[in-house]
């Protein structure tokens, strides 16, 4: 029911406000606890959060094509995409500020992430370089840090505003088997990517940042009240099943 929902949002807001002052923040502790519980379950899908298994994260098959736009003629596909390492996150900072207009910060590092995929890439770049890739694609990133900060906006529902995201990469290595038709160019491109990877990604991020951040802010605001309510627990209403119901916390017991 609508009124029950608003009540839960108000409850969540009230617990946010209860963090004010010098006492250790109950809310931050709750989120940290939640993240640890999540870490133990990231090898399974979590239906109550609508999440697939996150470590490893498997995607695909997927296909994409760019037809002669900007002199790039490209079609590509991925298969058996697998990303590992998301559950080994290190939470550096979590600072929630419940006063509207004052920044909250979240700083997380992924010490080592690695992806592996089968790929195809066919096409040409300005009709000069021919892509004829087909094989394994692999990449690893070390010390990938994700720093997010936002302000709280208190309207009728809980919402954030002025979201800022900073992304830092320690190191990035990529390998695409047989990417270019000519072996010399292939070697050159790979050296270039591996030398330039971090800066290249930084440039792409700067270029796309406003778009991504705006989309994220919208998504977060749409999901925030419900997510907060399920993390905080809604004050023992017992209408919804517990968030991790039916998902065993056994992901870190194997592969040690």
Question: Least distance (Å) from ligand NAG to the CB of residue 105?
Answer: 7
Beta carbon nearer to ligand NAG, 51 or 108: 108
Question: Least distance (Å) from ligand NAG to the CB of residue 24?
Answer: 19
Rounded to the nearest 10°, the torsion over CA 218, 244, 92, 105 is 30
Question: Least distance (Å) from ligand NAG to the CB of residue 194?
Answer: 13
> Which among 20, 212, 215, 7 has a CA at the least distance from the CA of 100?
20
Residue numbers at the binding site for ligand NAG (CB under 6 A): 92-93, 107, 142-143, 145, 147, 166, 170-171
Question: Least distance (Å) from ligand NAG to the CB of residue 3?
Answer: 40
State which residue has the least CB distance to ligand NAG: 170
Beta carbon nearer to ligand NAG, 87 or 229: 87
* Helix axis angle, 2-17 to 183-232, nearest 10°: 100
List of E strands, the chain? 57-59, 62-69, 72-84, 90-95, 103-125, 129-154, 158-168, 171-176
* Percentages (nearest 5) of helix, strand, coil residues in the chain: 35, 40, 30
- DSSP code for 235: T
> Which among 243, 226, 200, 251 has a CA at the least distance from the CA of 11?
226
Beta carbon nearer to ligand NAG, 143 or 178: 143
Question: Least distance (Å) from ligand NAG to the CB of residue 91?
Answer: 9
87, 56 in Cβ contact below 8 A?
A: no
Beta carbon nearer to ligand NAG, 79 or 143: 143
Beta carbon nearer to ligand NAG, 82 or 143: 143
């Amino acid at each position: 029911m609508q009124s029950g929902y608003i009540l839960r949002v108000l409850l969540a807001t009230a617990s946010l406000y209860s963090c004010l002052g010098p006492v250790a923040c109950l809310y931050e502790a709750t989120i940290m606890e939640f993240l640890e519980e999540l870490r133990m379950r990231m090898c399974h899908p979590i239906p109550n959060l609508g999440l697939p298994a996150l470590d490893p994260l498997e995607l695909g098959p997927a296909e994409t094509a760019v037809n002669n736009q900007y002199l790039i003629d490209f079609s590509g596909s991925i298969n058996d995409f697998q990303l590992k390492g998301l559950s080994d996150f290190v939470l550096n900072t979590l600072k929630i500020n419940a006063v509207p207009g004052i920044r909250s910060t979240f700083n997380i590092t992924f010490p080592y992430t690695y992806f592996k995929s089968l790929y195809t890439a066919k096409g040409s770049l300005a009709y000069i370089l021919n892509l004829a890739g087909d094989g394994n694609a692999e990449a690893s990133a070390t010390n990938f840090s994700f720093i997010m900060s936002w302000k709280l906006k208190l309207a009728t529902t809980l919402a954030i505003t002025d979201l800022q995201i900073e992304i830092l990469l320690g190191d990035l290595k990529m390998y695409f088997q047989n990417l270019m038709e000519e072996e010399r160019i292939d070697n050159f491109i790979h050296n270039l990517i591996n030398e330039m990877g971090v800066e290249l990604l930084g440039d792409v991020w700067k270029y796309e940042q406003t778009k991504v951040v705006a989309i994220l802010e919208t998504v977060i605001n749409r999901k925030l009240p419900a997510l907060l309510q399920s993390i905080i627990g809604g004050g023992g209403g017992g209408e919804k099943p517990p968030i991790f119901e039916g998902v065993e916390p056994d992901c870190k017991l194997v592969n040690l």
